[in-house]
A and B are shown apart, each in its own frame.
Chain A
């Protein structure tokens, strides 16, 4: 029993030293044009997904199914997000090619399997949380520092419909009228 414990402690120490060795040696590439190895990728992805899932669970999703949400969220998306997350008719940008992790193409539908209401709610929560708080060490900024919750929910509403939009529909919905006109 004692031997097993000793062995485990030793293994832990070796692993720790090896880990620090890897870190200090500088062999691990942090270049954005070199993908992570599968282990690091898994660690980061799992860390991110678990964290977002936990943090976003308590959020209440408003009813986003209305034209006004879309009209509020469209121009914001076009100006702040399309450079990284693309828009209908655009398949890449400097950002979408250069950033790592890659900004997901938000005009592509998610997994096309069933859209159960529950899924839709948790997706909306997740998107709201990510837009508001951003994701550490990725290009995804925290927009909550400069935008209130209403504007962020409006972008979530827009994201829900974005994959179906044609280029023409997208242009109409996202055109930002000059201040003053267009607010009745």
Chain B
């Protein structure tokens, strides 16, 4: 048992060296300050989602904030818009921010 537990500890610390170097690699961290892409919300409403479900409530909360946010938020929305598929062009226009961002409501 001693052998085995010694072996376990040696192996375990050996693996630690190989794994922990990876653990701190920041390359996979997502960019911060992303805006929620709420354009898909209307479809989800129709899908069999239940308004009392916390996931649905959380999304509605998030998207209500994003859509009724201030002009600064909407600018960020535009900047990130190109990264998301299915933006249907309304993010590119420099004028009507309001129209574009209320689209998903």
In contact, A175 and B36 (Cβ under 8 angstroms): yes
Number of A-B contacts (CB under 8 A): 151
Q: How far is the CB of A111 from chain B (nearest CB, A)?
A: 22
CB-defined contacts of A80 to chain B, threshold 8 Å: 29
- Cα distance A166–B66 in the bound complex, in angstroms: 19
Known: A169-B59, A176-B33. A161 touches B28 (CB 8 A): no
Closest B residue to A70 by beta carbon equals B58
In contact, B35 and A175 (Cβ under 8 angstroms): yes
In contact, B37 and A168 (Cβ under 8 angstroms): yes
CB-defined contacts of B73 to chain A, threshold 8 Å: 177-178, 181
In contact, A83 and B28 (Cβ under 8 angstroms): yes
Pick the 10 closest A-B CB pairs, nearest first: A83-B28, A19-B3, A30-B14, A67-B57, A67-B58, A168-B40, A137-B12, A175-B36, A137-B16, A172-B36
What per-residue 1/0 map shows which CB atoms of A83-111 lie under 8 Å from chain B? Answer: 11000000001110011100000000000
| Interface of B, helix, strand, loop or mixed by DSSP | helix
- Cα distance A38–B82 in the bound complex, in angstroms: 49
- The interface on chain B, measured as residues whose beta carbon lies within 8 A of the other chain's beta carbons, has a size of 50
- Cα distance A137–B37 in the bound complex, in angstroms: 38
Known: A71-B61, A84-B28. A30 touches B18 (CB 8 A): yes
A23 within 8 A of B: yes
The interface size bin for chain A is 35 or more
Known: A43-B8, A182-B65. A70 touches B15 (CB 8 A): no
A82 within 8 A of B: yes
In contact, A40 and B44 (Cβ under 8 angstroms): no
Closest B residue to A19 by beta carbon equals B3
CB-defined contacts of B61 to chain A, threshold 8 Å: 67, 71
Q: In the complex, which of the residues A99, A138, A161, A172 contacts B62, with contact meaning CB atoms closer than 8 Å? A: A172
In contact, A32 and B23 (Cβ under 8 angstroms): no
Q: How far is the CB of B67 from chain A (nearest CB, A)?
A: 12
- Cα distance A78–B33 in the bound complex, in angstroms: 12
In contact, A161 and B22 (Cβ under 8 angstroms): no
- Cα distance A71–B65 in the bound complex, in angstroms: 12
Q: In the complex, which of the residues B11, B32, B54 contacts A66, with contact meaning CB atoms closer than 8 Å? A: B54
Known: A137-B11, A182-B62. 16 other contacts (CB 8 A): A16-B2, A19-B3, A20-B6, A71-B58, A71-B62, A79-B29, A93-B28, A99-B22, A137-B12, A139-B22, A168-B40, A172-B59, A173-B55, A175-B34, A175-B62, A177-B35
What per-residue 1/0 map shows which CB atoms of A16-46 lie under 8 Å from chain B? Answer: 1011101100001011100010001001100
CB-defined contacts of A122 to chain B, threshold 8 Å: none
Q: In the complex, which of the residues B28, B54, B70, B72 contacts A70, with contact meaning CB atoms closer than 8 Å? A: B54
